[in-house]
Amino acid sequence: MDRFRAESFIPLTPLAFDILLALAEGEQHGYRILQDVNARSGNAAPLHAGTLYRALARLLEQALIEELAERPAEDDERRRYYQLTERGIAVARAEARRLAAQIATAEARHLLRAPA
């Protein structure tokens, strides 16, 4: 296995980061991720299933997320559940730091105003 460097995944696409954020709360199935992302964006640009699963496929391939071998006991729907991997957590942290630094800069340069 080649050496893992979180920086090599940075910057993430907004959608990929959104999915990682959704999974940061714990394992989720696909539709819950969809709902979570749409809720946080205020349904501004609603995500649909095709886009979501394409992004999930990429993240699976990059091993930033993984599929749970077992489903939570209370779940009776035949759904697959996804969770962050160690790599995924590291990459999400790195991306968050990058964005935080940008936000800090934006504040310092008075681009962010407190909502009136």
How far from the centroid of its chain's Cα atoms is residue 28's Cα? 11
Count the alpha carbons within 13 Å of 14 in the hemisphere toward its beta carbon: 6
The answer to whether 98 and 6 have CB atoms below 8 angstroms apart is: no
List of residues contacting another protein (CB under 8 A): 29-31, 34, 38, 43, 46, 48-54, 56-57, 60-61, 63, 66-67, 77-80
Task: Using the minimum distance from each CB to another protein, give the nearer residue, 32 or 98.
Answer: 32
Task: Using the minimum distance from each CB to another protein, give the nearer residue, 3 or 78.
Answer: 78
Task: Using the minimum distance from each CB to another protein, give the nearer residue, 57 or 106.
Answer: 57
Task: Using the minimum distance from each CB to another protein, give the nearer residue, 47 or 94.
Answer: 47
Give the nearest distance from C-beta 25 to another protein in angstroms. 19
Give the nearest distance from C-beta 12 to another protein in angstroms. 16
d(CA 30, CA 77): 12
Give the nearest distance from C-beta 59 to another protein in angstroms. 10
Token pair 């590291």 in the structure block, residue: 90
Count the alpha carbons within 13 Å of 29 in the hemisphere toward its beta carbon: 11
> Could you tell me whether strands 65-67 and 28-29 are parallel, antiparallel, or unpaired per DSSP bridges?
unpaired
Give the nearest distance from C-beta 96 to another protein in angstroms. 25
